[in-house]
Chain A
Amino acid sequence: MTGVDAGAGAGDVRYDRAREGATVLGIYLTSIAVALVVAALVLLATGGSWTSVLSALLDGSVRGPGRWGTTIGVAIPLLLVALGTIVNARAGLVNLGQEGQLFVGAAFGTYVATHIGAGGPGVLFLIMLAGVAGGAIWAGIAAVLRYQRRMPEVLTTLLLVFVASQAVGYGLKNKNLLLDPTPDQANRNLISERLRPDTRLPRLDWFGNEFPMTAFVALLMAVLVALVLRWTIVGFRLQMLGRGPRTAHRAGVSEARYGGLALVASGAFCGLAGAFMLAGGDFGNYRLTPNYPVNIGWEGLLVALVARNHPLVSIPVAFVFAGLRTGSGFLAATGVDRDITKVVQALLVLALLVPPAVLFVRNRRRALAAAAERV
């Protein structure tokens, strides 16, 4: 009976950091263990070998030659998207439009890159800026609708994903916008011109692992977001808005200003992720294509969820998600049916998503019990 559970929470007024940490760890370990067991059972039942699947996943993500670099390349946009999502979630808003914001950011970047007709660091910077602007504008539409017209941002951001994919699709059919104007291939393939070599992001090569230098930018951003949330007035106000909007309003935090700021910032991060993907070389070979974001936006959202909205935690989480992605490329070699490998992958993602949900429900219940006043 719920009344009893809530009551138990209410009586538990002590606050114990160590015990809290142990609980969280325990929930994660249990969840992952359950997922691995279920995955092993599924593989056994379908005649596969779970050791070979696990081995292939590891080969594809980190053990194979150069795979670290590939995985890092995928982790960069995931991390950026997650960071934006975190800023937004801390302000109490739900952005589900990362995929679209990222796509529009990439499209803006492509437009600038293919129309400027020059190269160099300055132009590269402009491409990044265009990406940021694209994502910010796309999220800004949702912000305006939210604060001028009271339309829930959950819906508008989500629906704008589909608008984004249609709009960029239109751009990819139009030579004046994004379509590659080279005569013979243009009408058949909806793809943009390739970025000139001097507008591409420099790639590093460490021990045979090649990845774009934006990896460090992304790391820096994660640290920056953590610092802003923890140490600045604006970070404090954003979180006050997220956790107690009425209290925040009374304390002078304008919902429209700070909430709008959070949404636009979230979009800007996604747009930047799009621009990084475009000029980084790990996605689409330096050209924009339909379905360019390949779920990076959605997965970035999951990264933030799994990281429980902690910017620094999202660094390793982004890497793990990237590893699941790059590792799955090697699963085909195990002879296990493709659909089954997808099931295994989904189970692992689920194992990471269940604990935050459990913790969220627990905290909510605890807050409710506290709110319902002690007996």
Chain B
Amino acid sequence: MTSPAAELRGITKRFGAVVACDNVDLALQRGEIHGILGENGAGKSTLMKVLIGLVLPDAGAIRIDGEQRRIRDPAEAAELGIGMVHQHFSLVEPLTVWENVILGERTRLDAAAARRRVGEISERYGLAIDPDERISDLSAGLRQRVEIIKCLRRDPAIVILDEPTSVLTPGESEQLFEVLRLVVERENKAVALVSHKLDEVLAATDRITIMRAGAVVDRRETGDADAPGLARAMVGRPVSLRSAGAALGHIEGLEDGVAASEPEAGNGPEATGPPPVLSIRDARARGRDRRTLLDGLSLDVRPGEIVGVAGVEGNGQAALSDLLSSLLPLEGGTVRVRDERPLPGRPGAMAAAGVAVVPADRHESGCVLDMTVAENLTLVSPPRARTGRALLDSAGRAILDRTGRRAHAERLIEQFGIQTPGADAPMWSLSGGNQQRVVLARELSGDPAVLVAAQPTRGLDVGAIEYVSERLREAAADGVAVLLISTELEEVLDLADRIVVIFRGRIVGEMDRADLDVERLGLLMSGAQEAAAS
């Protein structure tokens, strides 16, 4: 057997007290797609960053084609024939496809040659794209094509893809895997596919390495692997696929589970159901750059139900969440919460009306990192709507009740199991999962009528995901109207009683969980309007 295209031996990398990679071995063979599976935080990305030169390992060696190498930055990696498609796109939106592809090249600019090259690559791999299209006009799927073309234009021998499907529809994901198969079979390249989704690793790879807490826990040939076994290895304990489905991305398991669990989830939105507590009608909004964010979005959520907003990232999810966080004023349309009509965009209006929000970016609008845990647990105390006195809180006090706040905080820390050195510890000293618990605790402690959860489990580990999901279900059981906005389809399928699909700032389709049809959902998400009519 020839030496592997890339071989990592004993890679160890520490960040402070955290061991991201602990003596990890990995070999990427030519002509193979190698799946690297693990939860968020298992060390997959760090390992790949070592290979691409973005992270210098504390210990360990890298061999490329049998020769030991030091890779100190991505440029060196590129010279050795290693290319990576990152999870987050790094494209310049106002520029065209071909301009983005040659960006960073140091040779003389030759537009015609660059266009030709993009054409060649897209032809060779079946990545159809117009080189003169502007990036800002492209969908997420097409943007990723540009990233892949960027990576392939140097004809790398080793291609790394980091969570490539997180912004793709199921259909787009399948196309991507076809391209990868082509790359491997026709050109004998080595491909590393980093993912936390079981189904795609099972479907697309030849060999799987499973990581947990920085170490390799198992290696399998894909042919010998099955979903429950992989899930167990990944999480470190047996998991029911039904409850872990959201975390692990195993859609088939969910579909089976739906039918079984339907009776207990029970009452979908019958025509005779209770009146909605949250009603958005024909909401229209544009961003500061005049781009349309919401384009006639209408939505109802009834008490006690979880409505999941599915959709590919960038179709108005952020705007919807901002709208319900009083951060986005509307150009048209209304928002009604119970009997009130909070003025969109007015500071604190939504919170005062009873809308709790767990935002997608908790650091931006969910918590204040430089304040203490106790302070973060009491942030929302909107002043009385009508008096509007700047000096008083909702109870009409001018002086902070610091003792009361502390007691309140300690109660919530206990109740929500927040791991913190104390109520006075700064928020930044908490882990992501615990920060999320703080946000959740604060929002739920205000007795909300509506709970908006946007990407509530992004970046959390499995334990935290289970916890958050459980809390959302409990809130719904207590009669809160829950709006779950997520780009992880599995999460929506796992939690929602009713699913609506958002596309280009409007709701284009809706289905009960009882009539779940993943294929139709995928079509709706990709904007195929005809499907909505059926």
> When the two chains form their complex, are residues B391 and A247 in contact, meaning their CB atoms are under 8 A apart?
no
The stretch that binds A, out of B191-199, B231-239, B358-366, is B358-366
Partner among B17, B429, B459 whose Cβ is within 8 Å of the Cβ of A373: B459
> When the two chains form their complex, are residues B369 and A375 in contact, meaning their CB atoms are under 8 A apart?
no
Instruction: Kindly identify, within residues 1 to 23 of chain A, every residue whose CB is under 8 Å from any CB belonging to chain B.
Output: 1, 3-4, 7-15
Partner among A230, A232, A251, A371 whose Cβ is within 8 Å of the Cβ of B369: A371
> When the two chains form their complex, are residues B15 and A7 in contact, meaning their CB atoms are under 8 A apart?
yes
> When the two chains form their complex, are residues B18 and A11 in contact, meaning their CB atoms are under 8 A apart?
yes
Query: Does A252 sit at the interface, judged by CB under 8 A?
Result: yes
Query: Does B428 sit at the interface, judged by CB under 8 A?
Result: yes
Query: Does A234 sit at the interface, judged by CB under 8 A?
Result: yes
Instruction: Kindly identify, within residues 29 to 60 of chain A, every residue whose CB is under 8 Å from any CB belonging to chain B.
Output: none
Question: Could you say which residues of chain B place their CB within 8 Å of the CB of A246?
Answer: 325, 327, 364-365
Partner among B327, B350, B391 whose Cβ is within 8 Å of the Cβ of A233: B391
Query: Does A283 sit at the interface, judged by CB under 8 A?
Result: no
Question: Could you say which residues of chain A place their CB within 8 Å of the CB of B20?
Answer: 7, 375
Given contacts A247-B379, A373-B459, contact A11 B15 (CB under 8 A): yes
Question: Could you say which residues of chain A place their CB within 8 Å of the CB of B43?
Answer: 375
Give the shortest distance, in Å, between B431 (CB) and chain A (any CB).
6
A367 to B348, CA, bound (A): 26
Q: Mark A166-190, 1 if CB is under 8 A from B, else 0.
A: 0000000000000000000000000
Instruction: Kindly identify, within residues 175 to 213 of chain A, every residue whose CB is under 8 Å from any CB belonging to chain B.
Output: none
> When the two chains form their complex, are residues A375 and B371 in contact, meaning their CB atoms are under 8 A apart?
no
Query: Does B215 sit at the interface, judged by CB under 8 A?
Result: no
> When the two chains form their complex, are residues A250 and B365 in contact, meaning their CB atoms are under 8 A apart?
yes
Q: Mark A223-243, 1 if CB is under 8 A from B, else 0.
A: 000000011111111011001
Instruction: Kindly identify, within residues 366 to 384 of chain B, every residue whose CB is under 8 Å from any CB belonging to chain A.
Output: 366-371, 375, 379-383
Partner among A3, A233, A234, A235 whose Cβ is within 8 Å of the Cβ of B55: A3
Query: Does B432 sit at the interface, judged by CB under 8 A?
Result: yes
Main secondary structure of the interface of B (DSSP, over half): loop
Q: Mark A331-375, 1 if CB is under 8 A from B, else 0.
A: 000000000000000000000000000000001001100110111
A10 to B55, CA, bound (A): 15
Query: Does A156 sit at the interface, judged by CB under 8 A?
Result: no
Query: Does B14 sit at the interface, judged by CB under 8 A?
Result: yes
Give the shortest distance, in Å, between B77 (CB) and chain A (any CB).
14
Partner among B18, B56, B369, B397 whose Cβ is within 8 Å of the Cβ of A243: B369
> When the two chains form their complex, are residues A240 and B41 in contact, meaning their CB atoms are under 8 A apart?
no
Question: Could you say which residues of chain B place their CB within 8 Å of the CB of A9?
Answer: 16
Q: Which residue of B lies closest to A261 (CB)?
A: B390
> When the two chains form their complex, are residues B393 and A233 in contact, meaning their CB atoms are under 8 A apart?
yes
Q: Mark B378-404, 1 if CB is under 8 A from A, else 0.
A: 011111000000111100011110100
Q: Mark B5-25, 1 if CB is under 8 A from A, else 0.
A: 000000000111110100000
Instruction: Kindly identify, within residues 255 to 279 of chain B, every residue whose CB is under 8 Å from any CB belonging to chain A.
Output: none
Partner among B369, B381, B431 whose Cβ is within 8 Å of the Cβ of A13: B431
Question: Could you say which residues of chain A place their CB within 8 Å of the CB of B17?
Answer: 11-13
> When the two chains form their complex, are residues B41 and A374 in contact, meaning their CB atoms are under 8 A apart?
yes
A4 to B382, CA, bound (A): 41
> When the two chains form their complex, are residues B326 and A249 in contact, meaning their CB atoms are under 8 A apart?
yes
A15 to B15, CA, bound (A): 16
A239 to B375, CA, bound (A): 11
> When the two chains form their complex, are residues B351 and A373 in contact, meaning their CB atoms are under 8 A apart?
no
Q: Which of B327, B375, B400 has the largest count of A CB atoms less than 10 A from its CB?
A: B400
A255 to B326, CA, bound (A): 13
> When the two chains form their complex, are residues A233 and B15 in contact, meaning their CB atoms are under 8 A apart?
no
> When the two chains form their complex, are residues B326 and A8 in contact, meaning their CB atoms are under 8 A apart?
no
Q: Which residue of B lies closest to A238 (CB)?
A: B390
A234 to B365, CA, bound (A): 20
Give the shortest distance, in Å, between A364 (CB) and chain B (any CB).
10
Given contacts A3-B54, A257-B390, contact A250 B380 (CB under 8 A): yes
Q: List 18 A-B contacts (CB under 8 A).
A: A15-B421, A231-B399, A233-B392, A234-B390, A234-B398, A243-B368, A244-B368, A244-B369, A247-B367, A247-B379, A248-B379, A249-B327, A250-B325, A252-B380, A253-B348, A258-B390, A375-B15, A375-B20
- Extra contacts, 17 of them, besides A14-B429, A253-B347 (Cβ < 8 A), are A1-B56, A7-B55, A10-B18, A11-B18, A231-B400, A233-B397, A234-B390, A243-B370, A244-B371, A250-B350, A250-B351, A251-B381, A253-B348, A363-B370, A366-B428, A375-B41, A375-B43
